[in-house]
Amino acid sequence: SQQGEEDPQALSIQEGENATMNCSYKTSINNLQWYRQNSGRGLVHLILIRSNEREKHSGRLRVTLDTSKKSSSLLITASRAADTASYFCATDTGRRALTFGSGTRLQVQP
């Protein structure tokens, strides 16, 4: 069964706008990770947030984690056309087996 579910499934914005993607999960986790995938290519790790953290930043990325609601959000600020990709959250319950959601497809219009 899927652990993470992303919302929305698809998002289209203009360059310069912010993009927010949400992820919900079902069981307790050690950490939650966000990955990016360009059109059928391999996934690239973006950011990891541990279960005892509430917010983390990396460049234009901001991730929040609410373990009481079992949810996380990924914010990309000042988006660029090159940010067009699919974004996946993945939960790690402690045995290194990442469980991925079905992803959010982000389209950034130039």
* Nearest CB to other proteins, comparing residues 31 and 77: 31
Least Å distance between CB 16 and other proteins?
29
Mask of contacts with other proteins, 18-57, x by CB under 8 A?
Answer: ------------xx-x-x----xxxxxx--x---------
Cβ atoms 29, 51 nearer than 8 A = yes
Cβ atoms 18, 79 nearer than 8 A = yes
Least Å distance between CB 90 and other proteins?
8
Cβ atoms 34, 25 nearer than 8 A = no
Q: Which residue is associated with the tokens 């499934």? A: 9
The CB density around residue 101, as the number of other CB atoms within 10 Å, is 22
Interacting residues toward other proteins by CB under 8 A: 2, 4, 30-31, 33, 35, 40-45, 48, 88, 90, 92, 96-103
